[in-house]
Amino acid sequence: MSDELADRPLTEPHPSRLPPAHPSRERILAAHAAALAAGEAGYLDPDTGLFVLSAGFLARRGTCCGRGCRHCPYVAD
């Protein structure tokens, strides 16, 4: 997997990580957008309550860890 950032805005996760048909997609994207706007490392998933790292945090890390993060900015199309 490349460590170069994909040509996708940080607000739009790769469809393999958050499919367009996911039933909670809009709530997840809203929580993610709020975390990005606040400069927070992540947010609580609206369905599970688990902490999810934001694309901004992952981009600042500089490389992909290979763990399948929902908002990984390094996932290529």
Kindly state the DSSP code that residue 40 receives in the 8-state scheme. -
- The band of 13, judged by pLDDT with boundaries at 50, 70 and 90, is very high
Across all residues in the chain, what is the average pLDDT?
A: 94
| Whether residue 36 has pLDDT greater than 90 | yes
- The band of 4, judged by pLDDT with boundaries at 50, 70 and 90, is confident
What is the rounded average pLDDT of the residues 44-59? 97
- CA 25 centroid distance within chain: 12
Q: In whole angstroms, what is the distance from residue 5 CA to residue 26 CA?
A: 23
Kindly state the DSSP code that residue 36 receives in the 8-state scheme. H
Contacts of 56 (CB under 8 A, 6+ apart): 10, 35, 36, 39
Domain boundaries, the chain: 1-77
CA-angle at 68, arms to 65 and 73, nearest 5°: 70
